[in-house]
Amino acid sequence: MERTERIRRIVYDTLGNLNRQLPVGQRLSLAEDTVLCGDGQGLDSLGLVNLIVGVEERLRAELGCEVNLGDEAVAELADSPFRTVASLVRYVEERL
Amino acid sequence: MNPPEAGRRHTCLLIADFNPANLAARMRHDPAEPQVRVVEAPMGQVVPALCGGAGSGWEEDPDCCLVWARPEAVSPAFARLAGGEPVAAARILAEVDAFAAGLGEAASRVRALFVASFAVPVHQRGYGVIDLSWPGGVGRALLQMNLRLAEAAASSGNVWVLDAGRWMAAAGRGAFSPKLWHMARVPFAPAVFDEAVAEVKAGLDALDGRARKVVVVDLDDTLWGGIVGEVGWEGLRLGGHDRIGEAHQEFQRALKALARRGVLLTVASRNDEAVALEAMERHPEMVLRPADLAGWRIGWGDKALGIADLMGELNVGLEAAVFIDDSPFERERVRAALPQVLVPPWPADPALFAPALLGLRCFDVLQVSAEDRARPEAYASERQRRQLRQEVPSLSAWLASLGVQVRAEPLTPATAGRAAQLAGRTNQMTLGVRRPTQMELLAQGERPGTEVWIYGVSDRFGDSGLTGLATLQVDGGDARLADFAISCRVLGRGVEETVTHHLVGRACALGAARLVATPAATQRNRPCREFLARALGAAVDGTHAWPVAGGFPLPAHVELRACPP
């Protein structure tokens, strides 16, 4: 499996796990253009923390990579990596 | 704190010293029954919440509570010990005692209080290799704290310590999440919370009387390796120096351990009955013998029909049964035909059979009584009774041959645990109105005008133990049956009529004019409603009534021995 696909799978699996904490109608779809955070959509602050930690831990366990997504500087980027699934996958891949 | 019946929705107050939002969300949205409405006490306010402080969530009238506090939060002395300071164990245990006292206070407001055992992250190695053996060890102190907590819970009646260490082990090395802790004050990974939710729900199932009571197991390639009809009992893979044979034997041992806890073992198999039973009798390494089985359906018919028939014979509902079979086809057939029967996914590798069985939470109960342990033998006796019934031509002659004795005793602290178990686990011969706890039964027995009775049953085949419970509350001219629960094991031999005879006598002695009972209409208590209609007369506005002045006939074949109140 190519690296991009593996990262995408890690994000989807983490989101799938997070969905178990949400009411059925508020669950996030596992799609590239799913909004993770912003404009009042997607995850709340704890949900975002859960996503960050979940993805980081799985990247470490499955790909042996250390990527710090929890740094305040990441959240403050003008083009936030947490905008959509696609932007998060792209951001992670650029740092591996 | 009314117990949920219809819809089975509990309200659980969550008290934690950490951010409980992830745990609360997973419990709230977990699709498995029962559904739980979760109320979160303010984070970190464990002691005020246990003491019933305003704004702690008690105003939501929870019927159960989960308390989860890290050891360093409960015991500052333990925190100092973990930080390398020398601390006396007695100091730590005194703080655990204070915590346990708070738990006891909180437990008085709910039907069940669950508390997570103390656990530390896997990276907390304390003093390393000497940590458990050295008196100042961190791990050693943790063991002592948990034992102290468990002992306090055991004497409480409605507090149960859940093994958080096992949840951590199931979640693996990532169970404790340092980053999640520092970013959000959530110490554990989602997998730990999933284990906790499953455990709490198992406890609630037990509280609701939903624990499974019967295992129905296949024979060929399940209880043993091979097809007995083809290879004969001598050719079966069971025990011996054979990994498959050993795995099947280990599975049988796991089943036998379940039976010793009171779960009934039965068999449903496509086989020639004589051939299969001969294998169980004669194979030298067979752990389970026919005498260990409460019943069986061995033949060439549909297994689903056989299971339904078998549960009828045992007088237990399909909701009590678990079906285990190596064949996906048979599992799917039973799952489709009998949706009430639990058919767990089953591994293909026999090495995983015993772990799969032991990992099931559906058999969890909140206490194990002497009656539970004796249940398999009691059902073996019942098989003998049925055999005698086939040999004796008339019902009355059969009943007369049994020599049934019923003992009536006022409830005592020694029998309250069993009484609560009867109230909690009886589903057919029960009013279905409520499931009082041990503490509630003892408390109501102290009230003026109220009597709580427990009944033991024996006959010439053996003693069935304490198998009946009744609470009488006198209100004006009526003696109301507040509780009425009789184990299905002793039904159909005049026991329910004998209990009624005794209760009518007690109602008369208490000065009442009528014995009245108002059963709820649950899915499974039809036998009780039909009995009350038959015995006391048809219900008027849902209430059955019997004028006590003339007494109630005692079945001629039963001897009643009633203790004074």
Q: What pLDDT is attached to residue A75?
A: 67
Q: Hey, is the C-beta of A26 within 8 angstroms of any chain B C-beta?
A: no
In whole angstroms, give the CA distance from residue B507 to residue B479.
6
Q: Please say if the pLDDT value at position B560 is more than 80.
A: yes
Closest chain A CA to residue B27 = A21
**Alpha-carbon gap, residue B372 to B379, rounded angstroms:** 11
Q: Is there a contact between B184 and A20 if contact means CB atoms under 8 Å apart?
A: no
**Residue B347 token pair:** 């591994």
Pairing of strands B450-459, B35-40: unpaired
**Is residue B287 a contact partner of residue B253, using CB atoms and an 8 Å limit?**
yes
Give the pLDDT band of residue B269 (cuts 50, 70, 90).
Answer: very high
- Tell me the nearest-neighbour CA distance from A20 into chain B, angstroms: 6
Taking the C-alpha atoms of residue B453 and residue B450, their distance in angstroms, rounded to an integer, is 10
Contact A20 B26 (CB under 8 A): yes
Q: Does A46 touch chain B (CB under 8 A)?
A: yes
Identify whether the C-beta of residue B343 lies closer than 8 Å to the C-beta of residue B331: yes
To the nearest whole angstrom, how far is the Cα of B238 from the nearest Cα of chain A? 40
pLDDT per residue as tens digits for the range B530-556: 999 999 999 999 999 999 999 999 999
How far apart are the two ends of chain A, measured CA to CA in Å? 16
3-state secondary structure of B217: strand
What average pLDDT does range B440-458 have in this prediction?
A: 92
The chain A residue lying nearest B175, using CA atoms, is: A57
Q: Please state, in angstroms and rounded to a whole number, the distance separating the CA atoms of residues B374 and B371.
A: 5
CB nearest B29 (choices: A20, A50, A54)? A20
Bridge-partner residues for B295, per DSSP?
B266
Other beta carbons within 10 Å of B305: 13
CA distance, residue B179 to nearest chain A CA (Å): 7
- Which of A43, A50, A52, A69 is the mutation pick for testing B, counting most B CBs within 10 A? A50
The helix-helix angle for A3-19 and A45-58 (nearest 10°) equals 140
Q: How crowded is the C-beta side of B300, counted as CA atoms within 13 Å? A: 4
**Strand B264-270 vs strand B295-299: parallel, antiparallel, or unpaired?**
parallel
Q: What is the pLDDT of residue B461?
A: 77
List phi, psi (to 5°) of B39.
-115, 130
- The torsion of the CA quartet B378, B383, B384, B385, rounded to 10 degrees, works out to 90
Which of B29, B183, B190 is closest, CB to CB, to A17?
Answer: B190
Of B439, B447, B438, whose CA–CA distance to B419 is shortest?
A: B438
Computed over every residue of chain B, the mean pLDDT equals: 92
The stretch B67-91 carries a mean pLDDT of 96
Is residue B2 scored above 50 in pLDDT? Answer: no
Characterize the bridge pairing of strands B404-410 and B558-562.
parallel
Asked if A53 and B183 come within 8 Å (Cβ–Cβ), the reply is: yes
* B30: closest chain A residue by CA: A20
Contact of B264 with B214, CB cutoff 8 Å: yes
pLDDT(B455) > 90: yes
Residue B58 C-alpha, separation from nearest chain A C-alpha, in angstroms: 24
SS3 content of chain A, % helix, strand, coil (to 5): 55, 5, 40
Which amino acid belongs to residue B76? P
Residue B174 contacts A, CB cutoff 8 Å: yes
Report the pLDDT value the prediction gives residue B397, as an integer from 0 to 100: 78
User: Count of CB contacts below 8 A, A vs B?
Assistant: 42
Q: What is the DSSP letter of B88?
A: -
Percent of chain A, pLDDT > 90? 62
Residue A61 distance to chain B (closest CA, Å): 10
As given in the structure block, the two tokens for residue B155 are: 């004497």
Q: Which residue of B has its CA nearest to A18?
A: B190
Rounded Cα–Cα distance for residues B341 and B324 (Å): 10
Query: Tokens at residue B45, please?
Result: 């306010």
Task: Give the residue ranges of DSSP H helices in B348-482.
Answer: 353-358, 370-391, 395-402, 413-425, 438-445
In the block, residue with structure tokens 């020398």: B86
Q: B280: closest CA among B224, B239, B216? A: B224
Interface residue B26 vs chain A (CB under 8 A) = yes
Residues B265 and B215: beta-carbon distance below 8 Å: yes
Reading the block at residue B462, the tokens are 């053996």
Alpha-carbon distance of B243 to B463, in angstroms, equals 41
At a CB cut-off of 8 Å and minimum separation 6, what does B429 contact?
Answer: B484, B485, B486, B487, B488, B491, B496, B525, B527, B528, B531
C-beta atoms surrounding A22 within 10 Å: 16
Which amino acid, B219? Answer: L
Q: Kindly report whether the peptide bond that precedes residue B34 is cis, defined as omega within 30 degrees of 0.
A: yes
pLDDT value, residue A73: 67
Distance CA B168, CA B188 (A): 8
B30 at A interface, C-beta within 8 A: yes
Question: What is the share, in percent, of chain B residues with pLDDT greater than 90?
Answer: 77
Alpha-carbon separation of residue B461 from B382, B384, B404 (angstroms): 8, 8, 9
- Residue B15 CB: number of other CB atoms within 10 A? 29
* Chain-chain contact of A50 with B26 (C-beta, under 8 angstroms): no
Count CB neighbours of B195 within 10 A: 21
Contact B180 A46 (CB under 8 A): no
Residue B525 has pLDDT above 90, yes or no: no
Q: Is the pLDDT of residue B443 over 50?
A: yes
Per the DSSP assignment, residues forming a β-bridge with B468 are: B455, B486
Mark B224-240 as b/e (b = at least 16 C-beta within 10 Å).
bbbebeeeebeebbbbe
**Structure-block tokens of residue B5:** 């019946």
> Do the beta carbons of residue A54 and residue B186 sit within 8 Å?
no
Cβ-based contacts of A44 with chain B (< 8 Å): none
Interface test with A, best of B29, B38, B176 (most A CBs within 10 A): B29
Task: Please tell me which residue of chain A has the smallest CA distance to B189.
Answer: A54
By the CB < 8 Å criterion, does A16 face chain B?
Answer: no
Q: Pick the closest to residue B375 from B292, B271, B494, B303 (CA basis).
A: B292
- Give, to the nearest 10 degrees, the angle between helix A45-58 and helix B21-29: 90
Q: Which two tokens stand for residue B249?
A: 């034997």
Three-class secondary structure of residue B396 per DSSP: helix
Examine the pLDDT at B3 and tell me if it is beyond 50. no
CB-based contact, B22 to chain A, within 8 Å:
yes
Please return the burial class of B85, using the count of CB atoms within 10 Å of its CB with bins 0-12, 13-18 and 19+.
exposed
Which two three-digit tokens encode residue B403? 């020599």
In terms of Cβ atoms closer than 10 Å to its own Cβ (0-12, 13-18, 19+), residue A19 is middle
3-state SS class at B215: strand
Q: Is A57 on the interface with B (CB under 8 A)?
A: yes
Lowest mean pLDDT among B366-375, B391-400, B476-485, B517-526: B391-400
Best probe of the A interface among B179, B182, B197, by most A CBs < 10 A, is: B179
Of B56-70, B271-285, B420-434, least confident by mean pLDDT is B420-434
Contact criterion met (CB < 8 Å) for A21 and B183: no
* A72 Cβ under 8 Å from any chain B Cβ: no
Which phi and psi angles does B417 have, rounded to 5°? -60, -45
Cα–Cα nearest to B461, from B415, B390, B399: B399
At B157-183, the pLDDT tens digits run: 899 999 999 999 999 988 999 999 999
Locate A41 and state its tokens: 């959509």
Q: Which of A20, A28, A44, A74 to mutate to test the interface with B (most CBs of B within 10 A)?
A: A20
Q: Per the CB < 8 Å rule, is A50 touching B179?
A: no
Closest residue of chain A to B174, computed from CA coordinates: A57
Q: B535 to each of A26, B345, B491, B498, B528, how far by Cα in Å?
A: 54, 44, 14, 11, 10
Partner B contacted by A52 (CB < 8 A): yes
8-state DSSP, A60: I
Q: What is the pLDDT of residues B95-142, one digit of tens each?
A: 999 999 999 999 999 999 999 999 999 889 999 999 999 999 999 999
For the purposes of burial, counting CB atoms within 10 Å of the CB of B472, is it exposed (0-12), middle (13-18) or buried (19 or more)? Answer: buried
ipTM: 0.93
- pLDDT at residue B54 greater than cutoff 90: no
Q: Sort out which chain A residues have CB atoms less than 8 A from B179's CB and list them.
A: 53, 56-57, 70
Residue of B nearest to A47 (CA): B22
pLDDT value at residue B6: 46
Q: pTM of this prediction?
A: 0.78
Please say whether the beta carbons of B554 and B498 come within 8 A: yes
Q: Do A52 and B184 touch (CB under 8 A)?
A: no
Cβ of residue B177 closer than 8 Å to a chain A Cβ: yes
The verdict on a CB contact (< 8 Å) between A22 and B180 is: no
Q: Tokens for B378, please give them.
A: 């009691």
pLDDT band of residue B369 (cuts 50, 70, 90) is: confident
